Amino acid sequence: MNNKQSINLTSMSLIQQELMVTINEASTHLETFIGERTNHKVLEDCIESLQQIRGSLDLIQLHGACELSGEILVTATSINIEKNEELEEKLSVLTKGFFILSCYFEYTQQHEVGMPVLLIPYINDLRLVNRQPVMPESYFESSTATYRCPPSEKLEEATRIEDFTLMLRRFRHMYQLGLLGVIKDINLEHSLKLMQRAVTKVYKLSKGRTSETLWWLSANALQAFIDGNIISTVARKRLFARIDKQLRMLEKKGESTLDEPLEEELLVELAYYISLVAEVNDDYKKIQHLYGFNNLSYNETVLQRETISLTGPNADTVQSVAEVLRVELSVAKENMEKSQVAEGMADRDYEDTLARVQRIKEILNVVGLTSAADVLSQPLEKLQTACKDDAPLDEENNMLVVDAFLYVESVLNSLTSRNFSGEQLAELNQQNQNEVISSNNLLDAQLVVIEEAEKGIVFLKQAITAFTDSEYDKAHIKDFSEKLQEIRGGMTVLALPRAAAIVAACHEFIENALMSTDEMAALEHMLETFADALICLEYYLDCMKVDKNVSPDNLAIAEESLAALGYPVKN
């Protein structure tokens, strides 16, 4: 299977000039219509040009481009100027669609090969605005394979320690917490791990049932997203939501849902994502072979590289600029430090510092950090005067420059310590100099406490693994109480009473239950549930590093897990 489509360069060269002219004409008609909403004639001309484009692409069978042009045509034809909100959305995706169509035609000529999978995100943008189902990413692979896991031993109800419905409710809650993080693009790896853990637990419950294949593939697909650093696009997030829908049905209808028929298209799509991982394990290889994806000509890394090649760089500009500015600022600070030691700067150092500060100021203005740029205005004047007079800065002016540098550095640090948005950019501009510096120092202190607490949780998780592997030798958990007290102290310092109460309940569970139980079946279940609580707490702390205003409700799974163990959290 090869998703890179062979193309007829001769046919393409014959229609290239005419096709590009027609695409440009259609795009121009659309731009005119955007400015003149009542000019129906230009919209009709745009649609007519699109029909010609679609016919030309069908003629040379340029897959992907045919589908994209078809969706553009459908969208343009469905425009209703009376529905203003819908109109704006459609005009936006149409503009992007024309741009991508031109890019792809040039891409195929430059690479002498087509890669239609690159166009699926843009096709789906158009389908969504038309309220149509999204095109699966495996669409151009045309896999028709069907597979079911061989019957495995069914988990008898009598062997379960906890009620099925209660377990499902907790597992789904865990999955939804991770899904929310993925949808918001927050802590993606940890969010995916939460989802994968929840689905793996459901997979164990589904052993020997019809849906075992679904949950086996779901668990492997989520692990593949983690292993392969697979980006969470809109279509992929929708797939995760479909898994949540399956969990909702299980929770609502009960255990009988485990034997309901499976959606073949969903299984194929899960297998496809597993096939995007570059480094494969035995399960991945088996799945790729079973669903016919073992000869896929690309992986996620190649997809992202070719996407950049198609549309150009798509990095976070502000973050990238922050790294560049840090380097500039570092050199300027070094020059200032040298001047204090030498009681003045050499001419070239003055010129270098002036140039760097001016450059920093200009770039800060460009990216919207106007407050930080304004702070550099007065120090810049002082440096210019000192350079002109060939005299060192006095102590007062030197402190003025140093304080300005410290402020800008704090602003740049804020860019990388936050889950940054345009709204937060405006908020940062409104803060005064002392607030930003103090806030940055406080964030640093909080980060130290959070990281120490995370180290403690990692220690506990490792100890649980050692405890299990040693057939429950309690020597491995003798330090649990001390470590939990340290973590609880950290939560108190951070003013996180709900988290501190959870740690207190964990401590109570260790002392009163785990240390006094020897029955292996009970221990295994208790450790699994206790690990859920620890992982939830770890996820919450990881979110705190990105957004200090993260909702404490993210701790609910930990509270539910401890309640299931018989140790409800006392808030």
pLDDT for position 434: 53
- Whole-prediction pTM value? 0.69
The distance from CA 201 to its chain's CA centroid, rounded to whole angstroms, is 24
Q: Domain 9-135 belongs to what architecture?
A: Up-down Bundle (1.20)
Domains 317-431 and 439-564 share a fold: yes
Residue type, 158: A
Find which of 46-50, 159-163, 432-436 is predicted with most confidence, using mean pLDDT.
46-50
pLDDT for position 174: 94
pLDDT for position 419: 43
Hey, what are 416's tokens? 């990388």
For the stretch 206-262, pLDDT in tens is: 988 999 999 999 999 999 999 988 888 888 999 999 999 999 999 998 888 898 988
* Averaged pLDDT score across all residues of the chain: 82
**Is 336 a residue whose pLDDT tops 90?**
no
For the chain, the domains span: 9-135, 160-311, 317-431, 439-564
The distance from CA 431 to its chain's CA centroid, rounded to whole angstroms, is 28
**Is 272 a residue whose pLDDT tops 90?**
yes
> Phi/psi of residue 231, each to 5°?
-70, 140
User: What's 382-430 look like in SS3?
Assistant: HHHHHHHHCCCCCHHHHHHHHHHHHHHHHHHHHHHHCCCCHHHHHHHHH
Residue 134 CA: distances (Å) to CA of 109, 138, 190, 545: 28, 11, 27, 34
548 compared with 182, residue with greater pLDDT: 182
pLDDT for position 2: 47
CATH classification for the domain delimited by 439-564, as one of 3.30.70, 1.10.287, 3.30.450, 1.20.120: 1.20.120
Instruction: State the pLDDT confidence band at 130, using cuts at 50, 70 and 90.
Output: very high
DSSP for 276-290, written as a single string? T-SS--HHHHHHHHH
318 compared with 191, residue with greater pLDDT: 191
pLDDT for position 197: 95
* Contact status, residue 96 vs residue 125, Cβ threshold 8 Å: yes
pLDDT for position 226: 92
What DSSP designation does 263 have?
-
**Is 1 a residue whose pLDDT tops 50?**
no
223 compared with 476, residue with greater pLDDT: 223
pLDDT for position 408: 81
DSSP for 447-496, written as a single string? HHHHHHHHHHHHHHHHHHHHHHHTTS-GGGGTTHHHHHHHHHHHHHHTT-
Burial 405-422 (b: 16+ CB within 10 A, else e): bbbbbbbbbbbebbebee
**Is 145 a residue whose pLDDT tops 90?**
no
CATH classification for the domain delimited by 317-431, as one of 3.30.110, 1.20.120, 3.30.70, 1.20.950: 1.20.120
**Is 203 a residue whose pLDDT tops 60?**
yes
100, 104, 139, 112: which is closest to 7 by C-alpha? 112
362 compared with 53, residue with greater pLDDT: 53
502 compared with 358, residue with greater pLDDT: 502
Question: What is the rounded average pLDDT of the residues 280-304?
Answer: 87
* Contact status, residue 2 vs residue 297, Cβ threshold 8 Å: yes
Instruction: State the pLDDT confidence band at 468, using cuts at 50, 70 and 90.
Output: confident
**Is 506 a residue whose pLDDT tops 50?**
yes
Beta strand ranges found along 242-382 (DSSP E): none
pLDDT for position 355: 84
**Is 16 a residue whose pLDDT tops 80?**
no
DSSP for 488-522, written as a single string? HHHHHHTT-HHHHHHHHHHHHHHHHTGGG---HHH
Instruction: State the pLDDT confidence band at 274, using cuts at 50, 70 and 90.
Output: very high
Instruction: State the pLDDT confidence band at 159, using cuts at 50, 70 and 90.
Output: very low
Question: What is the rounded average pLDDT of the residues 400-406?
Answer: 82
Task: Report d(CA 414, CA 417) in Å as an integer.
Answer: 5
pLDDT for position 431: 54
26: three-class secondary structure by DSSP: helix
Instruction: State the pLDDT confidence band at 418, using cuts at 50, 70 and 90.
Output: very low
What DSSP designation does 5 have?
B
For the stretch 533-560, pLDDT in tens is: 999 999 988 888 777 677 888 899 999 9
**Is 121 a residue whose pLDDT tops 60?**
yes
> Which of 24-38, 195-209, 323-337 is predicted least confidently?
323-337
CB neighbour class for 21 (10 Å; exposed up to 12, middle 13-18, buried from 19): exposed
Question: What is the rounded average pLDDT of the residues 346-357?
Answer: 73
pLDDT for position 399: 80
**Is 315 a residue whose pLDDT tops 50?**
no
**Is 319 a residue whose pLDDT tops 70?**
no
Task: Report d(CA 90, CA 87) in Å as an integer.
Answer: 5
Question: What is the rounded average pLDDT of the residues 174-202?
Answer: 93
pLDDT for position 158: 41
pLDDT for position 9: 62
